[in-house]
Amino acid sequence: MDLGNNERRMLRAMLSEPNRTWSLGQLLSATGWDDQVHVAGAGAGLEEFGLAEVSEERVSSVSLGEEGKSAATEGLLEDRLWGWLREQDPDSRTMATLSSEFERNEAGPGVGLLKVLGISLENGRFVVDDEGTVDSAIEQRTAFVGLLADGPMDESELDAEMVSHFSSRKGLIVVEQRVSRSWTLTEAGSSVDSSTLDEVEMIGDVTPELLQGDEWRGARFKPFDVNAPAPTPSGGRPHPMQALIETIRSVFLEMGFSEIEGDFVQSAGWNMDALFIPQSHPARTMQDTFYLSEPEQVEVDSEYLDLWAKVHEHGHDTGSRGWGGEFDRDEARKALLRTHTTVNTVRHIADNPHQPCRVFGIGRVFRQESIDRTHLPEFYQIEGIIHEAEANLPMLISTLKTFYSKMGFPDVRVRPAYFPYTEPSVEVDVMWKGEWLELGGSGIFRPEVTEPLGTEWPVCAWGLGLERLAMLTLELDDIRELYLPDLEKLRRMPIL
């Protein structure tokens, strides 16, 4: 039996009178402790070892309320009224004089109290039936208040009628329920030999200094209860979204990609025309895209405007027939908030057409969406390309599979899809809790995209949703939770 020091001390104290039932107060003075936590803790320990028993009793304790305290010093209201009444000669025992002598908030209830004591009002005058009864009733009440003036008492020790009388009056007494505990030794407890209960020095902190010496060899160690409830430290931590972005970043870096960035403000030309999105495409309207009024236009290199015009109008020499119609260069100059990060990868190719690359970027994009459980007008995309002579569809799919499995989603599937700028186009789904969830789009850029950029190599491209992934990793079912400043919830989100 491995008793701790507190348990030893409490058991020794109880063994001084093994058959007694100990109250909290008695144990405090017998052990010398000043905090009842020690008694409760050591008592629970002794109980676990089968050495002591704790019993709990619900008691109600009665003490004086605010009114009661002032009654204890100034006298009960009925006592003061009665005292005053007795001193008046019978003619001035009237309601009128009483009202001039006492405040209204005392006179009103006071008369009520007197009536119950048998003092009635007849034609404005107080008439007393039996002075003796009034005297003794008031005396009894005064004595009760006096008794409680010394401190709270158990209800069981008090006159039940008085308790019920004062309970019905406002603020005079307070009745509180509390639990009173008492401790007794079991048979096993009372047969312990007190001389074996010396307190021993126990090591609670295992420090490097301690382990360097030899002292710990013979010492006793304090047992730890690893299941004991402990406060959760809540220090600072990165926002879960920031942590997720860092994880994704390191996954792509690990896979040999470099990171690129781009501006939020772009021209419609780079954001859309470069991607062979027809100028009449529904997604290009104000309802879907945030166009800017300052600046209203962004300058675009005329070399590109000319190329896109040819490709859009008749396909140039890409083998495509284009979209037909007339290409509007002013439309291409319109300033907007980028609607996808594909604009970054496309511009990267235009800037480095002859250099093979594997690049990625995680950035914010903007679309006119109404906010709901799964939509926000600002969100992040995880964009990437493989731009090299051998780039092909299997390479694209295996790259995405590798990425998602490193993120903890080993089951990935792709489905045919449509984007104006890729052929073939595929949608990427991951398996989560038995369901396929769509996380992004990808494909091989069409010649209508790559040719004006000046490259001859194929390009694997993808744009994946970050918030969707975050919702899965953090187990959220409302996208807005990611950005609400609810510290409690943020604190409880898993550390990534």
Please say which residue, 54 or 437, places its beta carbon nearer to ligand PHE: 437
Residue 422 near ligand PHE by CB under 6 A: yes
Q: Which of 266, 442, 455, 473 binds ligand PHE (CB under 6 A)?
A: 442
Q: Which of 252, 308, 380, 419 binds ligand PHE (CB under 6 A)?
A: 419
Residue 266 near ligand PHE by CB under 6 A: no
Q: Which of 361, 463, 471, 474 binds ligand PHE (CB under 6 A)?
A: 463
Please say which residue, 315 or 443, places its beta carbon nearer to ligand PHE: 443
Q: Which of 284, 312, 334, 340 binds ligand PHE (CB under 6 A)?
A: 340
Please say which residue, 121 or 255, places its beta carbon nearer to ligand PHE: 255
Report the alpha-carbon distance of residue 108 to residue 186 in Å, rounded: 60
- Which secondary structure element, helix H or strand E, spans residue 77, and what is its range? helix 77-87
In the complex, what is the shortest distance from the CB of residue 462 to ligand PHE, in angstroms, rounded to a whole number? 5
Please say which residue, 366 or 462, places its beta carbon nearer to ligand PHE: 462
Q: Check: CB of residue 385 under 8 Å from CB of residue 358.
A: yes
Q: Which of 318, 342, 450, 455 binds ligand PHE (CB under 6 A)?
A: 342
In the complex, what is the shortest distance from the CB of residue 273 to ligand PHE, in angstroms, rounded to a whole number? 14
Residue 407 to residues 224, 244, 358, 440, Cα–Cα distance (Å): 37, 10, 19, 15
CA nearest neighbour of 415 among 395, 434, 433, 437 = 437
Question: Which of 22-30, 99-107, 265-273, 439-447 is the region at the interface with ligand PHE (rule: CB under 6 A)?
Answer: 439-447
Residue environment code for 235-259, b if the CB has 16+ CB neighbours within 10 A, otherwise e: eeeeebbebbbeebbebbeeeebee
Report the alpha-carbon distance of residue 75 to residue 68 in Å, rounded: 9
DSSP classification of residue 233: P
State the residue number with the nearest CB to ligand PHE.
Answer: 463
Please say which residue, 134 or 346, places its beta carbon nearer to ligand PHE: 346
Residue 461 near ligand PHE by CB under 6 A: yes
Please say which residue, 342 or 399, places its beta carbon nearer to ligand PHE: 342
Q: Which of 443, 447, 452, 458 binds ligand PHE (CB under 6 A)?
A: 443
Cis amide leading into 424 (omega within 30): yes
Phi, psi of 386 (to 5 degrees): -120, 115
Please say which residue, 144 or 462, places its beta carbon nearer to ligand PHE: 462
Report the alpha-carbon distance of residue 274 to residue 70 in Å, rounded: 88
Please say which residue, 461 or 471, places its beta carbon nearer to ligand PHE: 461
In the complex, what is the shortest distance from the CB of residue 233 to ligand PHE, in angstroms, rounded to a whole number? 41
Cis amide leading into 295 (omega within 30): yes
Report the alpha-carbon distance of residue 298 to residue 267 in Å, rounded: 6
CA nearest neighbour of 407 among 458, 362, 461, 460 = 362
Residue 450 near ligand PHE by CB under 6 A: no
Residue 441 near ligand PHE by CB under 6 A: yes
Please say which residue, 6 or 339, places its beta carbon nearer to ligand PHE: 339
In the complex, what is the shortest distance from the CB of residue 370 to ligand PHE, in angstroms, rounded to a whole number? 18
Residue 363 near ligand PHE by CB under 6 A: no
Phi, psi of 54 (to 5 degrees): -110, 135
Please say which residue, 461 or 479, places its beta carbon nearer to ligand PHE: 461
What sign for the dihedral angle of Cα 454, 457, 458, 464? negative
Q: Check: CB of residue 94 under 8 Å from CB of residue 109.
A: no
In the complex, what is the shortest distance from the CB of residue 460 to ligand PHE, in angstroms, rounded to a whole number? 9
Residue 380 near ligand PHE by CB under 6 A: no
Q: Check: CB of residue 384 under 8 Å from CB of residue 422.
A: no
Interface of this chain with ligand PHE, residues 12 to 41, rule: CB under 6 A: none
Question: Which of 45-53, 106-114, 256-264, 440-448 is the region at the interface with ligand PHE (rule: CB under 6 A)?
Answer: 440-448
Residue 452 near ligand PHE by CB under 6 A: no
Question: Which of 178-186, 261-269, 292-300, 436-444 is the region at the interface with ligand PHE (rule: CB under 6 A)?
Answer: 436-444
CA nearest neighbour of 460 among 407, 413, 397, 380 = 397
CA dihedral 237, 238, 241, 244 (to 10 degrees): -100
Question: Which of 177-185, 250-258, 296-304, 460-468 is the region at the interface with ligand PHE (rule: CB under 6 A)?
Answer: 460-468
Residue 462 near ligand PHE by CB under 6 A: yes
Report the alpha-carbon distance of residue 139 to residue 144 in Å, rounded: 9
Number of residues that bind ligand PHE (CB under 6 A): 10
Burial class (CB in 10 A: 0-12, 13-18, 19+), 327: buried
User: Which residues of the shown chain bind ligand PHE in the complex (CB under 6 A)?
Assistant: 340, 342, 419, 422, 441-443, 461-463
